[in-house]
Amino acid sequence: MNITRRTFTAALSLAGAASALGLSPWQLFSPASAQTAAEINQAGELGDMALGSKDAPVTIIEYASMTCPHCAAFTKDVFPQIKTNYIDTGKVRFIFREFPLDQVALAASALARCVAKDDAPKYFAIVDILFKQQNDLASDALGTINRVGKQAGFSEQMIKDCVQSDPKIQKGILDVREHAYTKLKVNSTPFFFVNGTVVKGETSFEAFEKMIKPLLKS
């Protein structure tokens, strides 16, 4: 993906913000340790964004970056089928967790968090819009984030305060990414856990269905 110097400068001063927080946005930090169910299910300080019944027998957790083309393809081509067949019918709970691969992805994730607050359906809607405009994010990150934010009812100042000035949002997202890498061995996107079983990379609906159906019978 071609990110211009203007994009890096204007979208978010991530390196400086992360340094002030004692974090590195560019490096994956320490060696990963063994996974446990408690570690997989651990939500970050900002809380999980989830769709579907809390009592669903199957939980799918996705780690994704807003600048990842394979993540965008999954959201466009696979997720709607999972939602219709399994989330909306109470069989699957779907959790989306941010794993930004660059500062533009962090800025876009921060915007989605600020716009949605605790409204998960609204959050998923903003994520969907941003994925659909991924090419625009690559060529003009700040302009795209401002446009999407304004469409959601935010002023330009509100967007700036969220994306550039709110260390809690930035730190919350980066903490989730750090936990995912160090504890869960997440090292690429998209990366899924299906009832704790790892699924890496862009995966078809049929492949997910083969995993989900036996879990519904057990």
Express each pLDDT in 76-125 by its tens digit: 999 999 999 999 999 999 999 999 999 999 999 999 999 999 999 999 99
User: How far is 204 from 11, CA to CA, in rounded Å?
Assistant: 33
User: How far is 49 from 200, CA to CA, in rounded Å?
Assistant: 20
pTM equals 0.83
Confidence of residue 34 (pLDDT cuts 50, 70, 90): low
- Taking the alpha carbons at both ends of the chain, their separation in whole angstroms is 43
Q: Who's near 5: CB < 8 A, 6+ residues apart?
A: none
Task: Look up tokens 């651990």; give the residue.
Answer: 42
Mapped onto helix, strand or coil, the DSSP state of residue 30 is coil
Half-sphere exposure of 95 (CA within 13 A, CB side): 22
pLDDT at residue 163 is higher than 90: no
| Residue pLDDT, tens place only, 42-57 | 899 999 999 999 999 9
Which amino acid is residue 36, in one-letter code? T
pLDDT (0 to 100) of residue 145: 95
H or E element, residue 50: strand 49-51
Greatest distance between any 2 Cα atoms in the chain = 53
| Residue pLDDT, tens place only, 122-160 | 999 999 999 999 999 999 999 999 999 999 999 999 998
What architecture is the 42-216 domain classified under in CATH? 3-Layer(aba) Sandwich (3.40)
Q: How many CB atoms lie within 10 A of CB 75?
A: 23
Mapped onto helix, strand or coil, the DSSP state of residue 179 is helix
Task: Look up tokens 């469409």; give the residue.
Answer: 151
H or E element, residue 98: strand 92-98
